[in-house]
Amino acid sequence: MELKEINKRLEEIYEKIKAEIKWEPIGPTPMPEIADLRNWDMRLLKTYKPFYAPFCDMCCLCTYGKCDLTENRRGACGIDIATQQARIVLLACLIGCSAHASHAGHILEVLIERYGPDKKIDLGNGVEVEAPHIRTVLGLKPETLGDLKIAIEYVYKELTHLLDSVHTGQEGSYLDYESKALHASMLDHVGMEVADIAQIVGFNYPTSVADTPLVDLGWNAFDITKPIILFVGHNPATSTVVVDYLRENGLYDKVEFGGICCTALETSRYSDKAKVVGPLSRQLFFIRSGIADVIMTDEQCIRTDMPQEATKAGSALIATLDKVMYGLEDATGMDTEEIVKKMVEEKKHFAILDPRKAAEVAVKVALEIAPKRRKEWITEEEAIEFAKKCGLCGICEQVCPNLFEIGKGINEVAKGNFEVIRDIFNLCIGCGKCEEECPRNIPIFKIMQQAASKEVWKIRAGRGPIMDTEIRNVGAPITLGTIPGVVALVGCSNYPDYRDLAEIVDEFAKRKYIVVLSGCAAMVAGMWKDADGKTVYEKYPGSFDAGGVVNVGSCVANSHITGAAIKIANIFAALPLRANYEVMADYVLNRVGAVGVAWGAYSQKAASIATGCNRLGIPVIVGPHGSKYRRLYLSRKEEDDWRVMDARKKQIVDTGEPSPEHLLYVCETKEKLMVTIPKLCIRKNDTPQGRAIKLNHYISLYKKYMGGGLPEDLHLYVRRDADIPLVYKKEVKAYLDSIGWKPKEPVGLPTWIGTYPTKVPVDAVIH
């Protein structure tokens, strides 16, 4: 690029990020474009190489093909199998990013229309660094809703360029596609941050507070004698207006409302009267129960057959966003009373894109139809009668994605035993394939509902960003290692077993890790009680501190988790973050012992959230079916390059220490997950005391879940005697002696800056 052009580009960027406001010096990458952070990506990909597990042997994207890509064949356009996998992964990340960015854009539009672009961003006394991602990536300190628009427009622009690159006959390198996926996913965290800041500001969500209200969780939380409105999806633009309408019209206590998936979490941040039915996997179960009088859909993770399911259940349906209209008549311009009449009398479903109108219609329809509908769970006797129709053909088992013994379970119900089907329900992802294929039309879901828990649990309402004061308190213990790690349980509900979640939370909170949750994971973790009848939210404090269990909120609140990692570098370590992405990511990778766990990940959004964590230096573990994402980032601990720069000595040191060992990893079992979490929290920056604490947990969890002995790679993480936890000193010393282990010097100030081509000087990481 010519100097003149570069200057012009920079000039435009500086104008957008208001460079004249000197709150911090502007770093090297304001509003980065595709290639600006490519060197950082390539450094990441050198140690954490892409591992591809093709889900399909062919490429079917253009009319040249389809093309067979097996045995080193290239497609008609020249693409090979690795590049094709990277291309599809990029596409998934783009889908994920655009879902959040579009959500953010829509919310902003609604709120700017309501309050104007000059509405101030105020996240309370505890949050001064309000937008760590926007500040770091763009170099902009957003002060108003209008500033957030600058951020989201930047995301839109980059998304367009990135999507362009997946067109046939463009990028030809899998590494460059990975760099683009990392770029797209970094943008995802910007988009999520825009969405949640706007929501907090526009809807007065809790902020600068750890002790948010405990709200009811579970489908039994509804009072089924009242009209019930159910929100499904992720966008609270309409659900919050329904709450307003109920309040304004004296109906707040007369109508029940709540949701499934993230809109549930969002609405519970707006009103603690909102019920959280549960995660995505409970969607079809609840819809088919017919308990909801009116269902309001917005966007993302909603069943695509909702109109058919609503009709079957006798519920009324309103689609409230243009992204999901189901082919329904758009009644936005129609008279409210006329819509109500048609929905009540003709049982018609409508799309209504005006939130006020949609809210009014929903409430009026719910009030009208609720008294006429039968809303109750089926009885045990009814379930047994249905189950008796089963001919044990086994088709339900063959179509089950998890091959559960559903037929056997149903047959046991016919004998009066609900145990087997209850166990299956606890593992079920709720796709409904079994019931769809049953030749005798047995209502398997209703039978499962009868068997399922009738418990009501508690979940702490999402609290939004981590407070700056909390970061100041935990910054030192996290980077020194005396708080052994931050474990973020995020993502969807495609779990090997939903009960794993509460167990993981309990295990690590008990050990004084900081446990952070969001989205469906936050709900599922609450669906368990200990012997004292307490959920993890009642058992542990909601503060971002050792032993805290923090629900940040919905999917878009994930940005606060990664944002907290940036804040540690910025607030605790006093490193400038403005347009300084590489320094922030390098700090997080080498010094912040945080790990993400997406144990039930299923969606493209989970792919982009995880990949965004990876670019920022946070490793992520996914459940066994996460291998279907096609790509992991793995190291080979004993062969790979573990050299870092000691920033104080300006020397490259070969540590031989694989920390963190992987960036994106699949665990085969829960037991393996339990020992991988503490290992991935180890960082080269740990003090001896911190390392001993981390190794203590690694060893004790290994003994607990892997059947005894010591971890096979323990020697790689012991630098000197002082790193060995006291309680295992004798055993570990004997092991180290037996393999000829030699001590090595810890690195004073580990960094990757200076080990790859970058504009960032090594001194930039010294605080």
Partner 1 sequence: MSQLSPILPLHRVNTLTGVRTSRVVEDPKDIVKQIKKAQRPLLVIGPLTTKVTLGDKLLIEYAIDIAKAGNIPICATGTTKAKLLEFGVKPDSVYDVVEIVNALKDPNWKGVRGEGNHDLILFLGIRTDLANQGLSTLKHFAPHLSTITLCKYYHPHADYSLPNIRKDDQWKSILEGIIENLKTENR
Site residues for partner 1 per CB under 8 A: 51-55, 57-58, 64-73, 75-76, 81-82, 624-625, 627-628, 630, 632, 634, 636, 665-669, 671-672, 705-709, 712
Nearer to partner 1, 97 or 673 (CB): 673
C-alpha separations of 501 from 428, 495, 518, 700 in Å: 15, 9, 12, 20
Q: How far is the CB of 497 from partner 1 (least distance, A)?
A: 13
Nearer to partner 1, 69 or 598 (CB): 69
Nearer to partner 1, 70 or 304 (CB): 70
Q: How far is the CB of 273 from partner 1 (least distance, A)?
A: 41
Nearer to partner 1, 129 or 664 (CB): 664
Count of beta carbons in the 10 Å neighbourhood of residue 157: 13
Nearer to partner 1, 408 or 625 (CB): 625
Q: How far is the CB of 45 from partner 1 (least distance, A)?
A: 14
DSSP state of 637: T
What is the residue whose two structure tokens read 């990536």?
A: 137
Nearer to partner 1, 14 or 741 (CB): 741
Count of beta carbons in the 10 Å neighbourhood of residue 102: 21
Q: How far is the CB of 629 from partner 1 (least distance, A)?
A: 9
- The tokens for 132 are 């760590």
Q: How far apart are CA 214 and CA 391, in angstroms?
A: 45
Q: How far is the CB of 703 from partner 1 (least distance, A)?
A: 10
Q: How far is the CB of 682 from partner 1 (least distance, A)?
A: 17
Q: How far apart are CA 694 and CA 717, in angstroms?
A: 10
Strands 67-68 and 58-59: antiparallel
Secondary structure string (H, E, C) spanning 12-52: HHHHHCCCCCCCCCCCCCCCCCCCCCHHHHHHHHHHCEEEE
Q: Is 2 exposed, middle or buried (0-12, 13-18, 19+ CB in 10 A)?
A: exposed
Backbone φ and ψ for 456, nearest 5 degrees, come out as: -115, 130
Nearer to partner 1, 317 or 634 (CB): 634
Nearer to partner 1, 381 or 668 (CB): 668
Q: Looking at the chain, how many residues does it have?
A: 767
Rg (CA), the chain: 26
Q: How far is the CB of 486 from partner 1 (least distance, A)?
A: 23
The DSSP result for 65-96, as a single string, is: --EE--TT---TTS--HHHHHHHHHHHHHHHH
Count of beta carbons in the 10 Å neighbourhood of residue 251: 14
Nearest to 220 by CA among 315, 285, 295: 285
Find the helix packing angle between 688-705 and 468-480, rounded to 10°: 80
- The tokens for 47 are 């140690």
3-state secondary structure (DSSP) of residue 278: strand
Nearer to partner 1, 628 or 649 (CB): 628
Q: How far apart are CA 189 and CA 468, in angstroms?
A: 19
Nearer to partner 1, 53 or 734 (CB): 53
Strands 457-460 and 350-351: unpaired
Strand partners, 341: none
Nearer to partner 1, 67 or 571 (CB): 67
Nearer to partner 1, 115 or 705 (CB): 705
Q: Which residues of 118-129 are buried (b: 16+ CB within 10 A; e: fewer)?
A: ebebebeebbeb
Q: How far apart are CA 528 and CA 507, in angstroms?
A: 13
Strand partners, 316: 294
Nearer to partner 1, 57 or 109 (CB): 57
Backbone φ and ψ for 377, nearest 5 degrees, come out as: -70, 150
Distance, CA of 33 to chain centre: 25
Strands 631-634 and 49-52: antiparallel
3-state secondary structure (DSSP) of residue 522: helix
Nearer to partner 1, 349 or 697 (CB): 697
Q: How far is the CB of 288 from partner 1 (least distance, A)?
A: 26
Nearer to partner 1, 335 or 638 (CB): 638
Q: How far is the CB of 59 from partner 1 (least distance, A)?
A: 9
What is the residue whose two structure tokens read 């190291």?
A: 635
Nearer to partner 1, 234 or 630 (CB): 630
Q: Are 487 and 549 in contact (CB under 8 A)?
A: no
Nearest to 299 by CA among 332, 277, 322, 276: 322
Q: How far is the CB of 662 from partner 1 (least distance, A)?
A: 9
Backbone φ and ψ for 305, nearest 5 degrees, come out as: -105, 30
C-alpha separations of 355 from 131, 259, 451 in Å: 28, 16, 37
Count of beta carbons in the 10 Å neighbourhood of residue 225: 10
Q: Are 583 and 560 in contact (CB under 8 A)?
A: no
3-state secondary structure (DSSP) of residue 416: coil
Q: How far is the CB of 686 from partner 1 (least distance, A)?
A: 23
3-state secondary structure (DSSP) of residue 106: helix
Q: Are 61 and 83 in contact (CB under 8 A)?
A: no
Nearer to partner 1, 414 or 431 (CB): 431
Count of beta carbons in the 10 Å neighbourhood of residue 469: 15
What is the residue whose two structure tokens read 């998934």?
A: 92
Nearer to partner 1, 512 or 630 (CB): 630
Q: How far is the CB of 484 from partner 1 (least distance, A)?
A: 22
Q: How far is the CB of 13 from partner 1 (least distance, A)?
A: 40
